[in-house]
Amino acid sequence: MPTNAFISYTFADLAFVDSELVPLLQSHRIETWHAQGEMRSAQRWEREILGALRSHEWFLLLMTENSIHSEWVKNEVNWAMQNRAGKVIPVQLRQCASEEFHLGIPRIEHVDYSVGVETARRKLLATFGIEYDPKRLAQYHAQNLSPTAVQPETISQASSQTVREPRMAFHCGQWVPPSHFVGRVSELNKAHQLISARQNFMVSGPPRSGKTSFLRRVIHDLNHHQQQRNLSSYVNLEQGVQLNLRSFMEHTLLCIFGEMARKVFNCRYSDLLSEAGPALPQLKDDRDFGNFHRLFALVSNYTHNDQAKRNQTFVIHEFVRFVNELLEICESKGFQSFTMFYDEANRLPQDISIELLNNLGEALSQTGLIGAYVVGPQMGQHLMELPGLVGNQIRIGPFQSDDEMRSLLIRYYFGDGETSDQLPVTSSAYGYIWKASEGKPYLIQLLASGAFGEAAHDKATEVDARHVQRAYELVQTERPEAFQ
């Protein structure tokens, strides 16, 4: 007798899973597992979902127009077709293109809820070799205080309440804080893999593609990784008044000093400006801090004196020596890596010659410092010719599937990414936003912000295509550059 089943579905169909499939199967002694929420990162898929797939004997696929467009569902189906042959059960709520899930799915007998709920229940349990007992299901509902099973036609019904404004305001123009960053899972994983391997890389993409938001999320992940101790510093090169090779190296060193003061020695950067150093008892006999403060005094001869008194012999080999000594101190304190994130690195080729950039790349390769640079696509091709400077490229573009768009809207509307509530958005509105935005998160937020506002103004119960159309026309008028 089968003991368990993995349920593959998409978030929009969670109500049917929780109120129909889970009670039906569990009331007949079949344990079930399904992912809670739609925030399925590649990391979570590997750690949690793949583990659940391996530990469950049967695979139940809920086929709807929603799940057809889910890349996560397709990944799970591909795994099951290879590893659970003969134990894959397609469950269909209404007619949809089953071959879109996998070419082998149409050859498997379906359980079709559109022909009747009771008939579908009997057929589903018969696939497991179990006879359907309505009394068991009723008893399960009574014991678990679960809602009465929903009919398929009620799954997508909207709430009777008027659409409200999203709980969190959309970020339409500025970088998105890490807590609201959605998608780009494979790109995030690649960035962390490169950092773990201590390899330089660049992040390239067109304007407003989310490169700075991506960088901020990577930094956030590094700072909150519980099993690793990583240091990182962020600098926007666009803020440099006179950017040249020397100022670039000086600014890099000062950022390293500032981060180490805060994270390694728990003091303020301003404390280092005092010849005696910070008046902290715990640092008095710390040999590493003594070396750190000595290095700061040496570097200050280049960076903090006025132009007449500055040491004018600061060259690349000195930069390499200072960085290496600082990283040795970091390592002695148990820190595994130090990554410098350079935003707006398009300025580098404009103000620094190719020859000097090559020298800089060679210098950085002699240190353990990891460099990450944000550039446009054209400059990205140019910098790839300097393997010592970058070496690897991560391209940031539109969302790859509308699952990511739905996750983004859920995050802003409900204020989190794990809610089980359904968004008050019609399928036609989803389609309109996806098509008009071309999957670009910046445009998705602009259009969704306007569409939710229009629906709230109309006191509508759902955001529909009319509201998106009005938002689209408004953005075209007020912010035409957004579509360029």
**Whether 432 and 387 share a structural domain:** no
**Whether 223 and 304 share a structural domain:** yes
| pLDDT at residue 45 in the model | 52
The answer to whether position 172 is within a domain reads no
Tens-digit pLDDT profile for residues 87-138: 999 999 877 888 888 888 998 999 999 888 999 999 999 999 999 999 999 8
| pLDDT at residue 47 in the model | 63
Question: Does pLDDT of 152 surpass 60?
Answer: no
What single string gives the DSSP state of each residue in 201-233? Answer: EEEE--TTSSHHHHHHHHHHHHHT-SS--EEEE
The answer to whether position 126 is within a domain reads yes
Q: Regarding predicted confidence, which is higher, 154 or 451?
A: 451
The answer to whether position 169 is within a domain reads no
**Whether 26 and 113 share a structural domain:** yes
The answer to whether position 179 is within a domain reads no
| pLDDT at residue 155 in the model | 43
What single string gives the DSSP state of each residue in 430-484? Answer: HHHHHHHHTT-HHHHHHHHHHHHHHHHHHT-SSB-HHHHHHHHHHHHHH-GGGG-
| pLDDT at residue 65 in the model | 81
Those residues whose C-beta lies under 8 Å from the C-beta of residue 304, and which sit 6 or more positions away, are: 273
Average pLDDT in the chain: 82
Tens-digit pLDDT profile for residues 46-63: 567 888 898 999 999 999
The answer to whether position 377 is within a domain reads yes
C-alpha span between 98 and 79 (Å, rounded):
16
Which phi and psi angles does 131 have, rounded to 5°? -85, 135
**Whether 412 and 391 share a structural domain:** no
C-alpha span between 36 and 25 (Å, rounded):
17
The answer to whether position 464 is within a domain reads yes
The answer to whether position 168 is within a domain reads no
**Whether 143 and 216 share a structural domain:** no
Residue matched to tokens 């169909």: 13
CATH code of the domain in which 42 resides: 3.40.50.10140
Three-state DSSP at 153 gives helix
pLDDT band of residue 308 (cuts 50, 70, 90) is very low
**Whether 388 and 456 share a structural domain:** no
Specify the DSSP element, H or E, that contains 330: helix 316-332
**Whether 232 and 334 share a structural domain:** yes
Contact between residue 64 and residue 114 where contact means Cβ atoms under 8 Å apart? no
The answer to whether position 170 is within a domain reads no
Three-state DSSP at 342 gives strand
Which of 4-8, 145-149, 456-460 has the least mean pLDDT? 145-149
The sign of the dihedral angle between the CA atoms of 157, 159, 164, 169 is negative
Q: Regarding predicted confidence, which is higher, 354 or 339?
A: 339
Host domain of residue 138: 4-154
**Whether 82 and 194 share a structural domain:** no
- Per-residue pLDDT, averaged over 446-453, amounts to 91
Bridge partners of residue 235, in order along the sequence: 342
**Whether 25 and 67 share a structural domain:** yes
**Whether 124 and 247 share a structural domain:** no
Give me the percent of the chain exceeding a pLDDT of 70: 83
| pLDDT at residue 353 in the model | 66
| pLDDT at residue 314 in the model | 65
Which phi and psi angles does 128 have, rounded to 5°? -85, -5
**Whether 304 and 235 share a structural domain:** yes
**Whether 23 and 126 share a structural domain:** yes
Tens-digit pLDDT profile for residues 374-414: 888 777 777 777 666 777 899 998 998 888 898 889 888 88
Tens-digit pLDDT profile for residues 369-381: 898 988 887 777 7
| Number of domains the chain contains | 3
